[in-house]
Amino acid sequence: MKRMLMSRRQVMASAVGIGAAAITRRSVAAQPFTPSAGLVEAARKEGKMIYYTASFTEVEQEVINAFNKRFPFVRVEMVRASGGQLITRVKTEAAAGKLVADVVDHSDRGLMKALEHLFQDYAPPNASDYLPSALVSPRLWPRLTPGWSIAYNTELVKNPPKTWMDLTKPEYAKGQIGQVIGPSGGTTWTRIMFERQVLAEDYWKRQAATKPALYPSGAPLSDALVRGEVSIAPLIYNAILPKKRDGAPVEIFFPPEGVPIVPYATGIPKTSANPNAARLFLDWSLSPEGQAFTIKDQGNLTSLKEPPFNPEGFDPKVAKVWVPDFKQFVELHDKWLEEWNTVYGYRQ
C-alpha cells in the first residue's frame, strides 16, 4: 500500500509536467517540415516502405494520405494487426530473418522495449523537443499519443456523466456503459492503471458493479456507441472524434480527474530495406507539422514538450494529462490485468 502511494505521487508529477507544457504553449503554430534534400532523394529512390501498425486502419490511412500529400513518391504499404498479433508477427519474422517492416508502430511500449534489439538507432531532428517521460528507448519514438475521453450518445442520454467517477453511478447501470476489455492492449492498460492509481483503489469494483458491456477493442465500441448499442463509453478520443465531426449523435468530453495518454513506441527495424523512406516518414510524423496533423485532424494529443495545438474540446486548464510510470507499466501488467479480469468477470 505504501509503495502504491509512492508510485502514484511520482506519476502525478510527470503528468503535471506534460499538462503544464500544454498550457504555456497552446497557441504556438506548427512550423512546416523541411527535410534534407539528401534524405528526400534517397527516399524517392526507394519509392516505398512497409508500415506495421497496431493503430486502426482508417486512422492510419489518413496519416498515410497526409504524408503522401507532401511526399507522393513514397508508396506506403500498411499491415494492421491487433497489438498481440502484431508483436507475434514481428517476433516470428525477425526470428526467421524475414522481418519486412520498415516501420513498426505499437501502443504497448513495454512489449516494444523488449524488442529494442531489433531496431536501429534513430532519432528525429527535433528529438530534444520530446518529453523524456514519453521515451522508453533511444530507438523508439512516440509517433502517436492518443488520450482517453468519455463519450455518450446524445439521443439516449438525457443526464450525461461529467467525471470518471460518474461512471460508477447506478443510474448508468445495466449495460448502458460500454468498456474495452483490460487485456486488449497498451491503451486500455494505461487507462485501467489510471483508474486504480488515480481515481480510487476500488474504482474497478464500483464501475464493474454497473455491469458494463465489454468490447474487445475501442473501435467497435465507438461504433456501438454511435448506433446506440451502448449509451456511454470511455474512448480514445481519436476513435470517436471523426464520427462526431461527421454528425453522429455523440458528445465527447475530457473528464476533470485526468486524461490518461498513451505514447506509442515507433521505430525502424535494423533489417529495413527502405530505411530512408522510413526515416522520412518518421521525421515527418514526429515533426511539429506531423504532430499538428494528428492533433488537429485526428484528435490525438502529443508527447512534444510544446504542443503546437490542443485537440478540439481539450482544455489543459480543466483536464490534466496523465502518463503512466513506465516501470510500473511493465511490472504491474500481468498481476493487475488478472485482477481486472476477475473484477469484471472477464474470462481468460
CA distance 140 to 314: 27
* Residue 212 found at the interface with other proteins (CB under 8 A): no
Nearest approach, Cβ of 22 to other proteins (angstroms)? 27
CA distance 227 to 2: 44
* Residue 219 found at the interface with other proteins (CB under 8 A): yes
> Which part of the chain contacts other proteins (CB under 8 A), choosing from 51-59, 251-259, 271-279, 284-292?
51-59
* Residue 215 found at the interface with other proteins (CB under 8 A): yes
* Residue 32 found at the interface with other proteins (CB under 8 A): no
Copy the grid coordinates of residue 339: 485482477
> Which part of the chain contacts other proteins (CB under 8 A), choosing from 85-93, 129-137, 195-203, 253-261?
85-93
> Which part of the chain contacts other proteins (CB under 8 A), choosing from 50-58, 135-143, 278-286, 288-296?
50-58
Query: Quick one: 96 exposed, middle or buried, by C-beta within 10 A (0-12, 13-18, 19+)?
Result: exposed
Residue 152 contacts residue 251 (beta carbons within 8 Å): yes
Question: Scanning residues 264 to 323, which ones bind other proteins (CB under 8 A)?
Answer: none
Bridge partners, 232 (sequence order): 152, 177
Residue 228 region, left (φ>0) first, then alpha (ψ -120 to 50), else beta?
left
When the beta carbons of 7 and 55 are compared against other proteins, the nearer one is: 55
* Residue 189 found at the interface with other proteins (CB under 8 A): yes
Question: Scanning residues 107 to 146, which ones bind other proteins (CB under 8 A)?
Answer: 108, 111
Number of residues that bind other proteins (CB under 8 A): 62
When the beta carbons of 18 and 115 are compared against other proteins, the nearer one is: 115
Residue 1 contacts residue 201 (beta carbons within 8 Å): no
Could you identify the residue written with the cell 460518474? 166
* Residue 185 found at the interface with other proteins (CB under 8 A): yes
CA distance 302 to 241: 16
Residue 341 contacts residue 277 (beta carbons within 8 Å): no
Query: Beta strands 148-153 and 48-53: pairing type?
Result: unpaired
> Which part of the chain contacts other proteins (CB under 8 A), choosing from 1-9, 138-146, 246-254, 297-305?
246-254
Given 10, 24, 36, 61, the residue binding other proteins (CB under 8 A): 61
Nearest approach, Cβ of 58 to other proteins (angstroms)? 5
* Residue 98 found at the interface with other proteins (CB under 8 A): yes
User: Would you call 18 helix, strand, or coil by DSSP?
Assistant: helix
Nearest approach, Cβ of 252 to other proteins (angstroms)? 15
* Residue 220 found at the interface with other proteins (CB under 8 A): yes
Q: What is the DSSP string of 31-77?
A: PPP---HHHHHHHHHH-EEEEEESS-HHHHHHHHHHHHHH-TTSEEE
Given 8, 26, 44, 91, the residue binding other proteins (CB under 8 A): 91
Question: Whose CA is closest to 157, among 177, 142, 138?
Answer: 177
Given 222, 272, 303, 310, the residue binding other proteins (CB under 8 A): 222
Judged by the rule CB under 8 A, the positions of this chain that interact with other proteins are 50-51, 56-59, 61, 65, 77-85, 87-89, 91-96, 98, 100, 108, 111, 153, 155, 183-186, 189, 213-223, 226-229, 239, 243, 246-249, 345-348
